[in-house]
Chain A
Amino acid sequence: MSELDILFYILSSMSVLFGALVVLTSSPIYSSLYLVMSMLSVAGIFMTLNAPFIAGIQIIVYAGAVLVLFVMVLMLFDLKRETKAFTKGRFSGFLKLVGAGLLCGFIAGAAYESVSLIMATSEEIPTNIAAAAETGFSPTTNSIKEISKLLFTKYLFAFEVLGLLLLVVPIGAVALSRVAGGTHAKH
């Protein structure tokens, strides 16, 4: 076991632990702070997987921007009524059942999918790397240039559609704030 393996086990157990704490704590502030820790551990895993650029983007976008906004907004809320509403009642019970079912499904699916990977012998694994090389991506070379080439040639459509999706979100937020009852309503 090399030091990279040890680092991987530490970081992955950290991310799983903090991910569990996100859903297990009842205070939303603590939840979002645990989510930050989980994101940072995932960034560390990217770093051990020889993808420092993805790790940096993970830190900038998720830990540095999105979750700062989460924490900031959550501080302004007084969530006593909502906490009460979501601990009892038929609707929240239904949501909990759906959530638990989805989680079990995801875990079962992930376990089923990874059986072949765990059982694979060492001769079979290099074929995966060869398959990855066919997409034109090689992690050993200058990864930023490779990623940007792929983004602006092969995956251009998906990239632009995702950008459009993100543009829809602020427009929708502005539109919602202007309807009756919103924070910037005219009447």
Chain B
Amino acid sequence: MGSDVFEISVNFVKMVAIFLLMVNLVPMLVWVERRGSAFIQNRFGPNRVGPLGLIQLAADAIKFLFKEEFIPPKGNKALFLIAPIIALIPGAIAFGSIPLSVPIEISAFEMFGSQWGPYVFPFQSFEIGIGIVFVLGVSSLGAYSMLLAGFGSANKYSLYGALRASAQMISYELAMGLAIVGILIVYGTFDFAEMIAAQQGPLSIPLFEADHVVNKILGILPNWGVFYQPVGFILLFVSVFAETNRLPFDLPEAESELVAGYHTEYGGIKMNMFYIGEYGHMMVASALIAVFYFGGYSLGTTLDTILVEGTIVPNMSALFASLLNLFGSGWEQSTNLINVVRAFVFHGIFMAKILLFLWIFVWVRWTLPRFRYDQLMDLGWKTMLPWALANTIITAFLMLFLR
């Protein structure tokens, strides 16, 4: 975790903070979901408790925590209790391995009378060399929570929901994996930070020369993956809806047929943990889409240069230093402080992109009707898989000829 006390403690704080970031976004998203659905359906939504109904979240959380615990007497108690815990793990681990901003470079400084060496802190819970392979592997474990919940509840509706959920997740994982293969061929790396680095600069299509008219016109656009892999983007975007079990693919919990699907027997904080898992999956999916197709934490070269070289970040860090001086003295403007503030500015950009995609998740949920089960399987196996295969092959051939 690190070579000395400072590095270890910063890494530890980082790990906890990113987990808390994920968990604490969930109530906000629930609020967005309820208010957003009301907005789309021309209703009011929760608007009584606090301003804009924001305190409703706290009321709901307290209600969830104090609800009576119920375990179905004929169910399997161990599996029933372990399922909500497993629901929380994949999203949390996968979100922790995605870099949420540029790494923070800290040069050597003096504190508490001793010298602390130069550090580089990546803006993620833990660094793992294989990036996307790890995220895919960990998030595919999410199917177990639904299977165990369905089996442990000893309820026919739960079992149906669990079977639907796992069949759907396995089917759409193929299309999702192949869509990601296209992006891997384009960038030639598994690492998230390298992918984002490859999307810097203005858009220039390798078919034409660098100073060709077409590239000059396209040069106003950022060099984002969505312009190279539009089909892959659509395929990934559709399949993450199926992977997160959101409408239009929420067959596992289809309330008109299956009561509530795999979490029929759950109530209180246990059901809430399934929700946190689902929203965690959504955050991971949004972050992946942002990294693959929308430049991750960068905003295109021009804006990035303004942030890195302009006066905005130094001014902000000077302001931050003077704010810190209100509580204790000795803080001054330094390159370390500028680096930290810059990393947080890029983090803000990345979070804005993630929140935009999360809003699209909500928007789609309350706009589209649900698929029938055979339509879902037809779409997955007969439409998306061939398109994903064709996309992979065409991308591979194009990359071969353009090199």
Interface residue ranges, A against B (CB under 8 Å): 29, 33, 36, 43, 52-53, 55-60, 63-65, 68-69, 71-72, 75-76, 144
Judge whether B170 is part of the interface by a CB distance below 8 angstroms: yes
In the complex, which residues 103-143 of chain B have their Cβ closer than 8 Å to any Cβ of chain A?
128-130, 133-134, 136-138, 140-141, 143
**Docked-complex contact B147 and A71, CB < 8 angstroms:** yes
Segment 370-385 of B: residues with Cβ below 8 Å from A: none
A69 to B166, alpha carbons, bound, how many Å? 8
30 A/B residue pairs, CB under 8 Å, sorted by A: A29-B151, A33-B144, A33-B148, A43-B137, A53-B129, A53-B130, A57-B137, A58-B137, A59-B134, A59-B137, A59-B138, A59-B140, A59-B141, A60-B137, A60-B140, A64-B136, A64-B140, A64-B143, A64-B173, A65-B140, A65-B173, A68-B140, A68-B166, A68-B169, A68-B170, A69-B170, A72-B162, A75-B151, A144-B130, A144-B190
Question: With the chains together, A80 CA to B159 CA distance in Å?
Answer: 19
Name the one of B130, B141, B159, B167 contacting A52, with C-beta atoms under 8 angstroms. B130
Band of interface residues on B: 20 to 34
Residues of chain B with a CB closer than 8 A to A72's CB? 147, 162-163, 166-167
Main secondary structure of the interface of A (DSSP, over half): helix
Q: Contacts A56-B133, A65-B170, A65-B173 given: A75-B140 contact, CB under 8 Å?
A: no
Set A36, A43, A52, A76: member contacting B129, Cβ < 8 A = A52
Question: Which residues of B are found within 8 Å of A56, using beta-carbon distances?
Answer: 130, 133-134, 136-137
Could you tell me if B140 and A52 are in contact, using CB atoms closer than 8 angstroms? no
Task: Please measure, in the bound complex, the distance between the C-alpha atom of A144 and the C-alpha atom of B128, giving whole angstroms.
Answer: 13
Residue of A whose beta carbon sits closest to that of B184: A144
Interface flags, B159-192, vs A, CB<8A=1, else 0 = 1001100110110010000000000000000100
Specify the chain B residue showing the minimal Cβ separation from A71: B147
Contacts of B143 in A (CB 8 A): 64, 68
Distance in Å: Cβ of B56 to nearest Cβ of chain A: 37
Residues of A within 8 A of B136 (CB): 56, 60, 64
Point out which of B130, B140, B144, B173 has the most chain A C-beta atoms below 10 A from its C-beta: B130
A76, B371: Cα distance in complex, Å: 24
Residues of A within 8 A of B162 (CB): 72, 75
Residues of B within 8 Å of A57, CB to CB, are 133, 137
Is there an interface contact between A64 and B128, defined as CB atoms closer than 8 Å? no
Residues of A within 8 A of B173 (CB): 64-65
**Least distance between B280 CB and chain A CB atoms (Å):** 16
Could you say which residues of chain B place their CB within 8 Å of the CB of A29?
151
Per-residue CB contact flags for chain B residues 256-268 toward chain A (1 = under 8 Å, else 0) read 0000000000000
A118 CB, min distance to chain B CBs, angstroms: 31
